Amino acid sequence: MAGGSALDDLRAEASAFVDEHWDLDLTLGEWWERLARSGLGFPTWPEQWFGRGLGADALSALSELFRARRVVGAPGGLGQMMGGPVLMRHGNADQQQRHLWPLASGAESWCQFFSEPGSGSDLASAQTRAVRDGDEWVVNGQKVWTSGARTADRGMLLARVDMDAPKHRGLGYFIIPVEQPGIEIRPLKQMTGDAHFNEVFFTDARVADADLVGRPGDGWAAAVTTLAFERSGRAGVVGVPIAQGTGVRRRDLRQRKLGELVERDRVFAVAPQDARNPGPSGPLSPVSLIVEPGANRTDPLRQQVVRYYVQSRVNSMTQQRARADVAAGRGAGPASSITKLARSVATRMNRDLGPAILGAAGMLVGSQAPHGGAIAHATLQAPSTSIAGGTDEVQHNILGERVLGLPREPQVDRDVPFRELKVGTVRAEATKGNTKEER
Ligand SMILES: Cc1cc2nc3c(=O)[nH]c(=O)nc-3n(C[C@H](O)[C@H](O)[C@H](O)COP(=O)(O)OP(=O)(O)OC[C@H]3O[C@@H](n4cnc5c(N)ncnc54)[C@H](O)[C@@H]3O)c2cc1C
């Protein structure tokens, strides 16, 4: 953690950086590269990898400053939030050298090929296989709920490399290029109308052995680290959101001028997803909505908004603790599970407050609706917070076992060779007397 005056110095340095470098004539890519070289975009990353080796308080302080100065923050996404930090811990020097700059400079975005139709909460039962072929691995299987796969350059892939090892010990963790003939991506439409995630089919897809993170069979450790980073939140400094259509590739977005991406000299565009977890401030927070002209301001609603405000403030402090734990190498501690659960609570409060404050108008979607339909969008998207990155029930289990010391869930399959297990879709097919293995 940086002390008070160290944080003040950091703020002063970042402010001077913005004065010198923020220019609407730059492309987004040029801005992100400058930010990455300064170490201010990812302050919790080590100095050797485009960061400063600072704590979560520095990240929060810089995010606050970037938002106040109305400048775009560091590139976000799953690669930056999870992939880069995982490589710093589990990757080798070559992988760090090749992959960390494209992430820090926003040249690449990554997706997460973890969940499968028969393997979500029980992630270690993944059945997608990777078989070694010389300097490469050949991948076959299916993933599902893969956010952003259509615009991703690479994916963090969990695949089974050893059928004879127990399920946690036979997994490989790969960084696989997405644009290749062996990978087919089919969008899944959600009730929001977006197709944010996808099902992904691997048919003899290829990934270099050089992109196997850790040793074959050690993938579970990297997967657990990935989830810890996912639950504790983003890695880079947050600025004002940029207007960004869904389905735009990062490399195309990088070519655009900052002046085209932000509304010149005025309010920056707000993406609909920013309404889902708006936090205590910001234009889409219930705290802001309730003071708008025409808003419902009954006493019970005002009290609920205050409760929401308190919950959001507490959440952001807990999130700082979780990030500090993860940054200090303490792994997926209970704080990251508490953060995830607290975010679910705040999302549900926000889901109910937005429409209650706006009244019927809060149900409208489309650009003519209040706030471009972002409030109705947030209502429809709210359930996802309790599922993505591990469900609320799974977080309760973690807290029950690791904090309260309750008996562990029975795990009869922990030491059984994977080949002998009847799990997920294998189990479903086995009931028909026709397992995948038998075919
Ligand atoms: C918005 C969103 C984005 C996502 N993005 C990605 C992505 O990019 N990449 C990716 O790989 N996945 C992604 N996912 C998938 C997500 O990780 C899984 O949906 C999640 O882990 C749950 O798995 P499942 O859907 O298979 O549910 P299941 O595991 O089948 O669970 C079904 C229900 O059973 C409960 N349950 C299961 N096991 C237990 C237990 N042991 N104790 C108590 N209750 C239990 C669960 O809590 C849940 O309510 C995303 C999901 C969402 C909603």
The answer on 152 and 67 residing in a single domain is no
Three-class SS state of 107: coil
The answer on 397 and 276 residing in a single domain is yes
Q: Is the CB of 347 under 6 A from ligand 1?
A: no
Indicate the average pLDDT of the chain. 88
Q: Residue 314's domain is classified under what CATH number? A: 1.20.140.10
278 against 222, higher pLDDT:
222
- Residue 206 is classified by DSSP as E
Contacts of residue 378, defined as CB under 8 A and 6 or more positions apart, other chains included, come to: 272, 275, 276, 278, 284, 350, 351, 354
Is 305 inside a domain boundary? yes
The answer on 253 and 177 residing in a single domain is no
Is 96 inside a domain boundary? no
Is 205 inside a domain boundary? yes
* Gap from CA of 18 to ligand 1 centroid (Å): 40
Give the position of tokens 């990812």.
Answer: 42
Q: Is the CB of 80 under 6 A from ligand 1?
A: no
Is 230 inside a domain boundary? no
Please give the average per-residue pLDDT across 161-165, as a whole number: 96
CA-CA distance, 386 to 382, in Å (whole number)?
A: 8
Mutate-to-test residue for ligand 1 from 387, 398, 401, 411, highest number of ligand atoms within 8 A of CB: 387
Asked whether residue 16 carries a pLDDT value surpassing 80, the answer given is yes
Does the model's pTM come out above 0.85? Answer: yes
Residues spanned by the domain of 48: 4-75+236-258
Do residues 85 and 229 touch, judged by C-beta distance below 8 A? yes
Please give the average per-residue pLDDT across 344-360, as a whole number: 94
- Phi/psi at 45 (5° precision): -75, 155
- Phi/psi at 156 (5° precision): -85, 110
Is 425 inside a domain boundary? no
The answer on 190 and 70 residing in a single domain is no
The answer on 246 and 367 residing in a single domain is no
Domain count, the chain: 3
The answer on 248 and 154 residing in a single domain is no
Closest atom of ligand 1 relative to the 147 alpha carbon:
8
Amino acid at 358: L
pLDDT for position 336:
80
Q: Whose CA is nearest to atom 37 of ligand 1?
A: 121
- Phi/psi at 318 (5° precision): -65, -40
184 counts as catalytic: no
Asked whether residue 430 carries a pLDDT value surpassing 70, the answer given is no
Q: Is the CB of 38 under 6 A from ligand 1?
A: no
Q: Residue 189's domain is classified under what CATH number? A: 2.40.110.10
Is 371 inside a domain boundary? yes
The answer on 283 and 243 residing in a single domain is no
Count H helices and E strands in the chain, helices first.
15, 8
Is 209 inside a domain boundary? yes
Mutate-to-test residue for ligand 1 from 80, 111, 119, 121, highest number of ligand atoms within 8 A of CB: 121
What percent of the chain lies above the pLDDT cut of 70? 89
Closest atom of ligand 1 relative to the 381 alpha carbon:
1
Amino acid at 57: D
Give the total residue count for the chain. 439
Of 280, 236, 246, residue with least CA distance to 103: 236
The answer on 208 and 274 residing in a single domain is no
* Gap from CA of 424 to ligand 1 centroid (Å): 13
* Gap from CA of 409 to ligand 1 centroid (Å): 17
Query: Which of the listed residues 195, 226, 258 is the one where a domain comes to its end?
Result: 258
- Residue 131 is classified by DSSP as E
The answer on 275 and 253 residing in a single domain is no
Other Cβ atoms closer than 10 A to 215: 12
Q: Is the CB of 277 under 6 A from ligand 1?
A: no
Of 240, 245, 268, 272, residue with least CA distance to 373: 272
Burial class of residue 279, CB neighbours in 10 A (0-12, 13-18, 19+): middle
Q: Is the CB of 397 under 6 A from ligand 1?
A: yes
Q: Is the CB of 174 under 6 A from ligand 1?
A: no
Is 283 inside a domain boundary? yes
Asked whether residue 233 carries a pLDDT value surpassing 50, the answer given is yes
Greatest extent of the chain over all pairs of C-alpha atoms, in Å: 69
The answer on 189 and 70 residing in a single domain is no
Q: Is the CB of 110 under 6 A from ligand 1?
A: no
The answer on 393 and 284 residing in a single domain is yes
Closest atom of ligand 1 relative to the 148 alpha carbon:
8
Q: Is the CB of 109 under 6 A from ligand 1?
A: no
pLDDT tier at 273, thresholds 50, 70, 90: low
pLDDT for position 139:
98
Q: Is the CB of 384 under 6 A from ligand 1?
A: yes
pLDDT for position 284:
85
List pLDDT tens digits, range 125-136: 999 999 999 999
Q: Which of 20, 116, 230, 260 is catalytic?
A: 230
Give the position of tokens 């998207």.
Answer: 381
Do residues 105 and 33 touch, judged by C-beta distance below 8 A? yes
The answer on 375 and 318 residing in a single domain is yes
Q: Whose CA is nearest to atom 16 of ligand 1?
A: 388
Give the angle subtended at the CA of 390 by the CAs of 316 and 221, to the nearest 5°.
Answer: 100
Q: Is the CB of 155 under 6 A from ligand 1?
A: no
Closest atom of ligand 1 relative to the 123 alpha carbon:
21
Tokens standing for residue 162: 């050893």
Asked whether residue 172 carries a pLDDT value surpassing 50, the answer given is yes
